[in-house]
Amino acid sequence: MDKKIVIAIDAMGGEQAPKKNIEGINIFYNNNKKISDYFFNIYGNEELINKEIKKYKIPSEIYRIYHSNTVVSDDETPLTAIKNSKESSMWNSINSQITSNSDISLSAGNTGVLFVISRMILKTMEQVSKPALAGLWPNKKNMNVVLDLGANIDCDENNLVDFAEMGSALFKSLFPSENPKVGLLNIGSEEIKGTEILKKAYTILQEMKSNDFEFNGFIEANKIMDGETNVIVTDGFTGNIALKTAEGTAKFITDSLKKYLTETILAKISIIFSYFALKKFKSKLDPRKFNGAIFLGLKGPVVKSHGSTDALGFYHSIDLCYRIIKGDLMEKIRSNLSHVANKK
């Protein structure tokens, strides 16, 4: 019998927990009744979790509940959390990769605390000096992997090269039929533009001639969604600004469209004739479908769900966890990083 994919769930992380977390598990179960190669280790208040599970027909053989005494609050700092969180659902869900054979951990809780706890428990991979936070963005052709999204404000050229290898490994684990195409986010596509660190990273990646990905050089922000490059590499400062800009732009477009389509009777009538196109457009930009940022560079994978997402968004982060392990992410990262070590 093949080993099951074991996903550790912090059931108390995020808004409306554990309600949305358990409902997300239920959606995953209902959407995957034809497969049986997964199992959930669920961490949190056992009484509250059981209360939610009883609302659904989730079979008891696909999960186990581990009671946790405390919850990491959204306003807690990493420093205080280290002292107070060792009995928390977040801590236990991460630690289960060591103690309970979990393959991956998922939490919608405090991002800063999650990153610090994950790094403390799981440790950084030997070949990596700085872990990165990666996310999925839609493009015209399929999907981008973008990193770093805020874990590291300052990065040198070697960090960016590591990000390229880890990001391409993530892309390949999620989209095995496609080839990773790496681009360094810059203010221009010409080789002479950008900071010295970006130029040095460009030179290293160009000279590596890696078989792990195709290097497309520099990419400007207005080309990210084109799909010609699908692994976007940058430092955490720039990456976080790009992320917030993209989120704000998407919200502006959808809010404006909704406003103008409901302003007049004629506009409302036009919705009838364009219903399916509008539904497809809304689905393309639905942030819940891309919910889940991945900590890369640790000895075990951790996914951060958006704290304010709903049950459908949490389901998509569970599905992301499943696909990451199914795609053998950790082995792909180790393989890619070994190629970097050999060429540096």
In DSSP notation, 101-113 reads: --SEEEE-S-HHH
* Domain 130-295+329-344 CATH superfamily: Isopropylmalate Dehydrogenase (3.40.718.10)
The yes-or-no answer to whether 1-122 and 130-295+329-344 have a common fold is yes
CATH code given to domain 1-122: 3.40.718.10
**Sequence letter at residue 56:** Y
Classify residue 342 as exposed, middle or buried by CB count within 10 Å of its CB (0-12, 13-18, 19+). exposed
DSSP state at residue 218:
E
State the residue for tokens 């990193």.
147
Classify residue 56 as exposed, middle or buried by CB count within 10 Å of its CB (0-12, 13-18, 19+). middle
pLDDT in tens, 24-83: 999 999 999 999 999 999 999 999 999 999 999 999 999 999 999 899 888 888 778 777
Q: What's the rounded Cα separation, in Å, for the pair 130 and 152?
A: 7
Contact criterion met (CB below 8 Å) for 12 and 45:
yes
Q: Using N-to-C axis directions, what is the helix angle for 275-284 and 236-261, rounded to 10°?
A: 160
Residue numbers of the chain with a pLDDT score lower than 50: 1
State the residue for tokens 């027909």.
57
Between strands 5-10 and 38-44, the pairing is: parallel
Give the pLDDT of residue 173.
95
Domain ranges of the chain: 1-122, 130-295+329-344
Contact criterion met (CB below 8 Å) for 239 and 167:
no
pLDDT in tens, 273-290: 777 877 777 777 788 888
Q: What's the rounded Cα separation, in Å, for the pair 173 and 168?
A: 9
Contact criterion met (CB below 8 Å) for 6 and 101:
yes
3-state SS assignment for residue 209: coil
